[in-house]
Structure 1
Amino acid sequence: MESTSRPSLLILHGAFHIPESYIKFTKALRTAGFEVHLPRLPSMNGSRPPNADLTTDSELVRSYATSLVEAGRDIAVLMHSYGGQVGTNSLYGLSKTARSAKGLPGGISHLIYMSAFALPEGKSMINKVEEFGHLDLIPVSFGIDSDQSCVTNYPREGLVDGPSDQVDPEEIKGFIETIGRWNGKSMYMPIHNTPAWRDEVKVYYMYTLNDISLPIEYQRSMVQFIENEGKTVETVEFESNHALTLLVTERVVDTVVKFTLQ
Structure 2
Amino acid sequence: MATNTKPTIVIIHGGWHVPESYKELTTALRSNGYEVHVPRLASANQVRPPNADLSTDTELIRGYVESLVEAGHTVLALMHSYGGQVGTNALYGLGTEARSAKGLKGGVSHLVYMTAYAAPEGSAMMDKVKAFGHMDLVPLAFDFAEDGSCLSRDFRGLVVGPGRGDADTEAYVRTFVRWNGRCMYQPLERCAWREIPVVYVYTTADMTVPLDYQKSFVEAIEETGLKVQTFELATGHCPNFTATKGVVDVINKVCNR
TM-score (norm 2): 0.97
Maintained 8 Å contact 1:156/1:176:
yes
Distance 1:181 1:160 in 2: 16
Where 1:76 maps in the other structure, the secondary structure is: strand
Tell me if 1:144 matches 2:144. Answer: yes
Maintained 8 Å contact 1:110/1:260:
no
- Map of 1:213 onto structure 2: 208
Tell me if 1:244 matches 2:234. Answer: no
Query: Any stretches of 5+ residues in structure 2 without a counterpart?
Result: none
Where 1:5 maps in the other structure, the secondary structure is: coil
Where 1:226 maps in the other structure, the secondary structure is: helix
Query: Any stretches of 5+ residues in structure 1 without a counterpart?
Result: none
- Map of 2:174 onto structure 1: 177
Tell me if 1:84 matches 2:87. Answer: no
Where 1:11 maps in the other structure, the secondary structure is: strand
Where 1:151 maps in the other structure, the secondary structure is: strand
**Residue type matched to 2:41 in 1?**
L
Distance 1:161 1:56 in 2: 30
Task: Please show how residues 1-262 of structure 1 align to structure 2 within 5 Å.
Answer: 4-162=4-162, 164=163, 167-193=164-190, 195-199=191-195, 201-262=196-257
Maintained 8 Å contact 1:95/1:109:
yes
Where 2:137 maps in the other structure, the secondary structure is: helix
Maintained 8 Å contact 2:128/2:213:
yes
Deviates more, 1:3-12 or 1:26-35: 3-12
Q: Report deviation, 1:179.
A: 1.3
Distance 1:174 1:161 in 2: 14
Query: May I ask how many residue pairs the two structures share in their alignment?
Result: 255
Maintained 8 Å contact 1:109/1:202:
yes
Distance 2:136 2:185 in 1: 15
Distance 2:254 2:159 in 1: 24
**Residue type matched to 1:233 in 2?**
V
Deviation sequence 1:195-224 (CA, Å, 0-9, x none): 11001x221000000000000000000000
Q: What percent of counterpart residues are identical?
A: 49
Indicate the RMSD between aligned Cα atoms, in angstroms: 1.1
Q: Report deviation, 1:23.
A: 0.5
Distance 1:173 1:34 in 2: 28
Distance 1:251 1:109 in 2: 20
Maintained 8 Å contact 2:161/2:236:
yes
Where 1:240 maps in the other structure, the secondary structure is: coil
Maintained 8 Å contact 2:161/2:237:
no
**Residue type matched to 2:192 in 1?**
A
